Structure 1
Amino acid sequence: MVQIGYTMMTEQAGPRDLVAHVVGAERAGFDFSVTSDHYFPWLESQGHAPYVWSVLGAAAQATERIPLMTYVTCPTTRYHPAVVAQKAATLQLLSQGRFRLGLGSGENLNEHVVGGGWPSARVRLAKLEEAVQIIRRLFDGESVHHHGPHFDVENARLWDLPDQPPPIGVAVSGDRSCALAGRLADVLIATEPRPELVSAFEAHGGRGKPRIGQLPVCFDTDRDAAVARAHDQFRWFGSGWPVNSELPGTTAFAAGTRFVRPEDVAASIPCGDDVDAFVDAVRPFVDAGFTEVALVQIGGDHQVPYLEWAERKLLPALRAL
């Protein structure tokens, strides 16, 4: 049976609200949670971007059962991998073993803030591979001295280590990232229900490991209002990773999506309160071999009614998958 997750979308709510929302998701019966790690929202209408690691620390104390996960953190530019390892180990201790560290090669949108330019996709992936190797060694309790092509680590050691280190997930979008994830990750992360991603992950060592997908949805009893909100805040979603990872700020995302129509968004994101439409949107992930699907309810001010509806109607229907 596929597990259904809740997304704390840091681009659309402030830190206190995000913690309240994940408490509500735990109460509603979601199987796990994930959260984005951004410095910017994609569009100004989303309006938020708090520091996710503080939010996760608070969420770890406010919840009891629901697993937590970054979806995803870039450990190569805005953060050094040695610092990411320390943050993740601490959060695993605070959550008493409920944390998974999701990693990816990053987006210009967030990583540009520290300067230094934005490298090519091939370089970004090489940096991610080196970062994962450093984090693994620190999780193993090593004193790490490392001088590689992209990172230096001088006598680093984690002094507070959990008995079980956080599982590491790696976000994939093509053959090279799937090969990296299959070799080095415990979990596959994707935003598209493409069976070839699962196949490539398994071919490189990922067989039997969890595979997590993510899907935006927009619940509202007024479908027209749901479509309008999805268009206002999530019309960037259909551009795809090769485009989204390169754009430098909200102005670029607004310009790049200016010709996207509400009906275009409604064709790819389930909107309204038709449970069958939401189930039909999740089914391609299940058919592609994903074991977990994290839903994103669009609109920071619309989480409470969504959680109530999900508990009563959506989650029972999705359990049948």
Structure 2
Amino acid sequence: MADFGYFLSSEEHNPAELVEQARMAEQAGFTSLWISDHYHPWNDRQGQSPFVWSVVGALSQAVSLPVETAVTCPLVRTHPAVIAQAAATSAVQLGGRFRLGVGTGEALNEHILCGPWPEASVRLEMLEEALQIIRKLFTGEQTSHRGKHYTVENARLYTLPEQPVPIDVSAFGPQAAEAAARIGDGLITTKPDTALVERFRRGGGGTNPVCGGLKVCWGTDRQEAVRTAHHLWANEQLPGELSQILPTPRHFEQASQLVTEDQVAAAVPCGDDPEAHVEALNAYVEAGFDTVYVSQIGKDQQGFFDFYRTKILPQLRD
């Protein structure tokens, strides 16, 4: 039986709001937390983007739930040796209840230091090298590394959890799923893609956890909920690699003009019909996911948590 977690949206909410939502998620019966790691929101309408590691520290003092970044890019904006220290400290603060979710990132967040934005195959190569460095540092031994993409000299982590932090890898296509199986301790994705899950498991992922995330927009007026989802998250319906290569929120706003409300309504569970929400979540369960993370779009977080506590989570657990 799958577990159900809550996905904290750093793009929409400030740090205090994220911590309060984590408390509400725990009270509602969600069993774990994801939190996004961005430098920019996808568009100016979303309006936030706090530093994720500060928020993770606050979460460690506010809730007893496990926490995972979904996802951190340890390639360009932040060196993998720094990510290793951040993840290790987070795991100590959370008493071992931390997982590091990683991916190959988006130009939106990573180009800010004026470096080149490599193509996807190169970023996968960089990710594999980055994880080698991070795992070496998790041993607590002094580490030096001179590779194709990164150099580390005489680095050692002194604040470490009892066990190395598990590292889950984000994947949306077959090549990335195979890489996740090879170098990750689990798979992260955002579509209930049975073929992707099977490729991960056959490629060496075995029984490692597969976790998925989706957005919903609860509200008593379905059409208003559709408008809210379209207003804030039309970017999620952009096709192909656009989400990886567009460099600024303004570019996402321009591209999102091509996304209609009908497209959003077809892709995002909106409104207060329990069947629509349960059906969307069960699609992940049937595809073989171990944990499904739900994110509420918009301001009415309390209404969403009440709805899921009373109408959705009990059905899913039955």
TM-score tier after normalising by the smaller chain length: over 0.9
> Which SS does the other structure have where 1:41 is aligned?
coil
CA distance in 2, matches of 1:177, 1:228: 33
Partner residue in 2 for 1:72:
71
Partner residue in 1 for 2:164:
165
Deviation at 1:304, TM superposition (A): 1.6
> Which SS does the other structure have where 2:136 is aligned?
helix
Residue identity matched to 2:50: P
Deviation at 1:135, TM superposition (A): 0.7
Per-residue Cα deviation, 1:14-68 (whole angstroms, up to 9, x for no partner): 011111110111111101110000011111111100101100100111112x110
Compare 3-12 and 140-149 and name the one that shifted more. 140-149
Deviation at 1:241, TM superposition (A): 5.6
Deviation at 1:282, TM superposition (A): 1.4
TM norm structure 2: 0.98
CA distance in 1, matches of 2:72, 2:47: 20
Residue identity matched to 1:99: F
Indicate conservation of the 8 Å contact 1:5/1:30, yes or no: yes
Indicate conservation of the 8 Å contact 1:12/1:46, yes or no: yes
Counterpart mapping for 1:47-196 below 5 A: 47-64=47-64, 66-196=65-195
Indicate conservation of the 8 Å contact 2:88/2:138, yes or no: yes
Relative to structure 1, the CA distance from residue 175 to residue 213 in structure 2 (aligned partners, 3 Å threshold; closer, same or farther) is same
Compare 74-83 and 171-180 and name the one that shifted more. 171-180
Indicate conservation of the 8 Å contact 1:69/1:102, yes or no: yes
Partner residue in 2 for 1:318:
316
CA distance in 2, matches of 1:10, 1:88: 18
Compare 3-12 and 285-294 and name the one that shifted more. 285-294
CA distance in 1, matches of 2:202, 2:258: 39
The reply to whether residue 19 of structure 1 matches residue 36 of structure 2 is no
Indicate conservation of the 8 Å contact 1:76/1:105, yes or no: yes
Deviation at 1:193, TM superposition (A): 1.2
Partner residue in 2 for 1:293:
292
CA distance in 2, matches of 1:259, 1:159: 50
CA distance in 1, matches of 2:159, 2:58: 18
Indicate conservation of the 8 Å contact 1:125/1:177, yes or no: yes
Indicate conservation of the 8 Å contact 1:75/1:81, yes or no: yes
CA distance in 2, matches of 1:312, 1:76: 42
Partner residue in 2 for 1:268:
267
Residue from 300, 303, 308 that aligns with 2:301: 303
Partner residue in 1 for 2:6:
6
Partner residue in 1 for 2:33:
33
Deviation at 1:259, TM superposition (A): 2.2
Indicate conservation of the 8 Å contact 2:237/2:259, yes or no: no
TM norm structure 1: 0.97
Per-residue Cα deviation, 1:60-85 (whole angstroms, up to 9, x for no partner): 11112x11000000001111000001
CA distance in 1, matches of 2:310, 2:225: 19
CA distance in 1, matches of 2:70, 2:254: 25
Deviation at 1:194, TM superposition (A): 1.1
Indicate conservation of the 8 Å contact 1:275/1:317, yes or no: no
CA distance in 2, matches of 1:203, 1:80: 31
> Which SS does the other structure have where 2:303 is aligned?
helix
CA distance in 1, matches of 2:214, 2:253: 21
Q: Alignment identity in percent?
A: 46
CA distance in 2, matches of 1:128, 1:51: 21
Indicate conservation of the 8 Å contact 1:60/1:95, yes or no: yes
How many matched pairs?
Answer: 318
CA distance in 1, matches of 2:106, 2:117: 9
Deviation at 1:263, TM superposition (A): 1.5
Per-residue Cα deviation, 1:220-267 (whole angstroms, up to 9, x for no partner): 111121111000011111224622111111111111110211111011
Structure 1, gaps ≥5 residues long: none
